[in-house]
Structure 1
Amino acid sequence: MDDFSPSDLKTILHSKRANMYYLEYCRVMQKDGRVLYLTEAKNENQYFNVPIANTTVLLLGNGTSITQAAMRMLSQAGVLVGFTGGGGTPLYMACEVEWFTPQSEYRPTEYLHGWLQFWFEDKKRLLAAKTMQQARISYLQKVWNKDRDLKNEGFDFNSEQIQIALSTFEARTSAATKQSELLLTEAQLTKVLYKYAANNTSTAAFKRQHQSTDKANDFLNHGNYLAYGLAASCLWVLGIPHGFAVMHGKTRRGALVFDVADLIKDAIVLPWAFICAKENATEQEFRQQVLQAFTDHKSLDFMFDTVKQIALENHKEINNDGIHKDD
């Protein structure tokens, strides 16, 4: 097999890559110019290929090890590697996770420059937060109007209950003068969406609990972590540090990941968590359904487009003031 150069491995943009992998109880290694993972079966060891050029994130869970050679190839392909707890969680909530990022590449700095241009000004940061909230609703509308499966399950964007909630959300978002007001408005909308989804799927007496054992809550937690993985990948590729949040707490260094993940959670994770819980799906079935929905509705593309739009709007302001973008 011919060797690939690092540039060959990066020909697929991160926003277009199809795969996120979670591995557990296996050994990740390099063999014959490929990254493989080895599992120990009862009678023989089995090798499986990881298509690194088309992979965004590799999460290593319980019982995993990885060789230096495999890490070198993953780095060359620009794959984001992280260690997690069992099942791919926790990521950011309960414990620290180390993300290993290649140190040899030269990413454009314009997104970071544009983001920092507005971040230190309260009014501009608030405006960016409002832009993200508006984008979130636009994506919700696009997904729910397009997805036939969601429509068949009763998720109708044009329903009276949703439209009343969105009308209130938009008015309060527009009138907000600080981030805490936006967070309160967001929480109120999400509460309405939970109730709407619970009624559609006949989920009796649903209450959102992060430490719950019922399937709807478990699937919400699981799906949210998948969204966090996409958001972290988006910010990493664009070179924007996770601590420069516009909505969530500025003292939480992963807070911008939560901001970006919120762009897609209501549209995809929330409805499918309830639908899969109603159908008594397994965790793996839910994971496959959500990842397929991310692909079908180009969730990662949408994250990139939104974050780049906000960053570049402010980067243009730098250029218009006569400062070269590479200064």
Structure 2
Amino acid sequence: MDYLHGSDLKAILHSKRANIFYLEHCRVMQKDGRVLYLTEAKKENQYFNIPIANTTVILLGTGTSVTQAAMRMLASAGVLVGFCGGGGTPLFMGAEIEWLTPQSEYRPTEYMQGWMRFWFDDDQRLVAAKSFQQARVDFIRRTWAKDRDLKTEGFNIEALDIIQALHFFERRIPELIKVGDLLLAEAQMTKQLYKVAAINTNYQNFSRNHGESDLANNFLNHGNYLAYGLAACTLWVLGIPHGFAVMHGKTRRGALVFDVADLIKDAIVLPWAFICAKENATEQEFRQQVLQKFTEHKCLDFMFDQVKGIALRNWQAEGGETL
């Protein structure tokens, strides 16, 4: 049997990889040169292959274990591995997923160096945060305009309430002079979008609460953590540490993951959390739907483009005034 070399496993760029896995109640192992996960059934055990060369992230939930040999192969393929609670939440230690990252010394340095050129300047960091928020609004418009499934569910980008929510936030972005004000403004926009989603799906008396047990809140939590997985993978591949946030706070380790995940959360996770809650979907059905939409709308490509664009911008030549 011919075995793949480590370099072959990285042939597919992370931005083009198709798979994110969330596993629970199974054992991840290496067998015959492949990474598998084993589930225990009443009559027999079942093995399922994980195509690691085409996988970006593996989340290990409740009742999982992983062998050293499997971790070695996952590292060779550049797969980001994380431990989490059931259904992808909560983040361990109340802070963030305990990510296990392959220890490669061959990741690019140019993006980290570019990020550092502006990050220590408060004004330029604010400009970067505003750029992320403008890209977030643009992605909502682009995604909702072409997604027929969302249009069928009432998420029409030409609806007056959606136009007003996006336009009001977009108009305020250039005027804000503090990151705190920007955080408040984007929270207000998201709150308006929650209201739109609740009305479209006839979801009564919705209130966003991370600790609530209703389906919409649970699906929002779950989908957000899937987005965090994509964001963490983007930053790891580009070699930018998660602590160098532009919006969510310099003192919060891992905050840049939240900044990058925000690029796609409202466009994909928010509407589908409400739609799947209306249909009383299972957690697995919701997860499959969101992952399908991540792929359909090329979310990972979009995240890479935005982070690379900010990192490689010629801040010094332009004075960091506009993006």
TM-score range, shorter chain: over 0.9
Distance 1:207 1:189 in 2: 15
Match of 2:12 in 1: 12
**Residue pair 1:197, 1:274 contacting (<8 A) in 2 also:** yes
SS of the residue corresponding to residue 94 of structure 2 reads coil
Letter in 2 for 1:109: T
**Divergent runs of 4+, >3 A:** 314-318
Alignment of 1:171-186 (within 5 A): 171-186=171-186
User: Structure 2: any 5+ residue segments left out of the alignment?
Assistant: 319-323
C-alpha deviation, 1:316, in angstroms? 8.2
Which range moves more in the overlay, 109-118 or 308-317? 308-317
1:111-161 deviation digits (Å, cap 9, x = unpaired): 001111100001110100010011001100110000001001111112111
Counterpart Cα distance in 2 of 1:202 and 1:93? 35
Partner of 2:215: 215
Mapping of 1:141-152 within 5 angstroms?
Answer: 141-152=141-152
After TM superposition, give the deviation of residue 250 of structure 1 in Å. 1.3
Asked if residue 53 in structure 1 is aligned to residue 56 in structure 2, the reply is: no
Distance in 1, matches of 2:92 and 2:64, equals 19
Structure 2 CA distance, aligned partners of 1:183 and 1:131? 13
Return the offset for 1:96.
5.0
Q: Secondary structure at the match of 1:313?
A: coil
1:297 matched to 2:302? The reply is: no
How far, CA to CA, are the matches of 1:71 and 1:93 in structure 2?
Answer: 22
Tell me if 1:240 matches 2:240: yes
Is 1:308 the equivalent of 2:322? Answer: no
How far does residue 176 in structure 1 lie from its aligned partner after superposition?
0.5
Cα 1:317–1:56 change in 2 (3 A) is: farther
Say whether residues 1:40 and 2:40 are aligned partners. Answer: yes
CA displacement at 1:98 relative to structure 2: 2.4
| Aligned-residue identity in percent | 73
**Is residue 81–residue 99 contact of structure 1 (8 Å, CA) maintained in 2?**
yes
Counterpart-to-counterpart distance in 2, 1:239 and 1:251: 20
CA RMSD between the two structures? 1.5
Distance 1:49 1:316, change over 3 A: farther
Per-residue CA shift, 1:192-234, capped at 9, x if unaligned?
1011111111111111111111111111111111111111111
Q: Paired residue for 2:159?
A: 159
Whole-Å separation in 2 of the counterparts to 1:151 and 1:30: 44
Structure 1: 5+ residue stretches without partners: 319-327
Q: For residues 62 and 52 of structure 2, what CA distance do their matches in structure 1 show?
A: 21
Which amino acid in 2 is paired with 1:90?
P
Distance 2:199 2:252 in 1: 34
- Does the 8 A contact of 2:115 with 2:310 survive in 1? yes
Amino acid at match of 2:193: L
Distance 1:22 1:317 in 2: 44
**SS of equivalent residue, structure 2 residue 207:** coil
